[in-house]
Amino acid sequence: KIADLVKEGQEVLVQVAKDSIGTKGARITTYLSFPGRYVVLMPNINHIGISRRIINEDERNRLKTIVQRVRPDGMGIIVRTASEGVPEEKLIADIDFLLKLWENVKAKAGKAKAPSLVHEDLNLVFRATRDLISRDLERIVIDNKDVYEDVVRFLNRFSVKLGAQVQLYQSDTAIFDAYGIELEVSRALGSKVWLKSGGYLVIDRTEALTAIDVNTGRFVGGKSLGDTIVKTNLEAVKEIVLQLRLRNIGGIIILDFIDMDRPDDRDRVFNALQEELKKDKAKTSALRISEMGLVQMTRKRTEESLSQKLCTSCPYCEGKGEVKSPATVAYDIIRELVREFSKLPAENFVLKAHPQVIDRLCEEDAEFVQDVRDRFSKKIALKTAPEFHLEQYEISPIR
């Protein structure tokens, strides 16, 4: 029980492990961690870990030996992927930096009065620079001179070679346009993603889970329907994992592949999925493909998805993704007319509604409107209001 661990009024040093998302509050922990360029320091956990992406056994042993020698008793250190091939002195310098940081945090915490912020991670630019740099990096392009100089100085702390990979962008063309980023962001916010073969994905996010549906679309290649389905599913695997990373989708994810009759085909697609997921830095877990073509998987979520960061619920449909059709709104209006006519003594009324709804009332449903007029001996003028929401209408008596 939490009551057995902490008491009311007790001051506890905690870290936000997971940001608040939607209606769910932030998750905090007393198991603190401080990420550096090459290692992560965990002062409250007695543990040594090596990134699973470092697969060379000799290199894993080398790194573990270095960490065992310099790690303070009772503390934990996780060796990051970026440490592979890095000289011992650089690893030790990174560990020393994090140990000093931990001492500063403890000192601040000892003087601070709760609640108080005693440490904050690097800003977005430096955090991305620290976490995303790898051996595959070709260059970092920045369109702001001050940020460019800050990043160069930051990287030069680790390696002059890294600092030399930073480039100042000075063209008149917007940097997002020059590198096609705007288009990729738009694609990553849409629900449909086209595959090169002509097939496509449909990505739907709900409060509980994210569903990704695979469709053949325009793709008709292959000698048989079975071949077409397998090729589409294999192509979809790469795009699905890419979209999970681009959109930062986490939590429960359901993949609905096109049905495959042969177990060997299902195994082939699942194995391809497993290989692609190994490239994802986030922790993932996937169950085998069912006979219906479904894969249940999870992806660790520590912050909001791309759409949650860049978008807000549509004020038009309030996040439902749907609005009532003009026909449905017209029927709502006819019922409301009956209610209004039966309780108001006025004889003349004005109805304002969206043009599509007025068109419906004047054409397909004109007979129903006239029937209500005759039944209550009332007159009603229909006026279009282009500025109205499709579901919005206004019935006013004329005095």
pLDDT per residue over 187-214, tens digit each? 888 899 999 888 899 999 888 899 999 9
| Both structure tokens of 378 | 């009332």
| Both structure tokens of 332 | 């709502």
Task: Provide the residue ranges of all domains of the chain, joining segments of one domain with +.
Answer: 2-119, 126-170, 183-310, 326-398
Contacts of 212 (CB under 8 A, 6+ apart): 201, 202, 203, 204, 240, 243, 253, 254, 255, 256
Question: Residue 262 in contact with residue 318, Cβ under 8 Å?
Answer: no
What pLDDT is recorded for position 79?
93
User: Which DSSP state fits 21?
Assistant: B
User: Which DSSP state fits 156?
Assistant: H
pLDDT band at 301 (very low <50, low <70, confident <90, very high): confident
Nearest to residue 305, comparing CAs of 361, 243, 257, 365? 243
User: Which DSSP state fits 136?
Assistant: T
What pLDDT is recorded for position 95?
92
**Can you tell me whether residue 368 is helix, strand or coil?**
helix
Q: Can you tell me the distance from the alpha carbon of 163 to that of 149, in angstroms, rounded to the nearest whole number?
A: 10
The CATH number of the structural domain formed by 2-119 is 3.30.230
Answer yes or no: same fold for 2-119 and 326-398: no
| Both structure tokens of 66 | 């270095």
High-pLDDT (> 90) share of the chain, %: 48
- For 340-376, b/e burial (b = at least 16 CB within 10 A) is bbeeeeeeebebbbbeebbbbbeeebeeebeebeeeb
The CATH number of the structural domain formed by 326-398 is 3.40.1260.20
What pLDDT is recorded for position 197?
85
What pLDDT is recorded for position 322?
82
| φ and ψ of 329, to 5 deg | -65, -40
What pLDDT is recorded for position 363?
94
What pLDDT is recorded for position 66?
94
Question: Residue 270 in contact with residue 288, Cβ under 8 Å?
Answer: yes
Average pLDDT rounded to a whole number, residues 122-135: 79
Question: Residue 297 in contact with residue 253, Cβ under 8 Å?
Answer: yes
| Both structure tokens of 199 | 């097939």
- In this predicted model, what pLDDT tens digit does every residue of 253-293 receive, in sequence order? 999 999 988 899 999 999 999 999 988 888 899 999 998 88
Indicate the angle between helix axes 181-189 and 225-246, nearest 10 degrees: 110
Instruction: Please provide the DSSP assignment of 107-122 as one string.
Output: HHHHH--SS-------
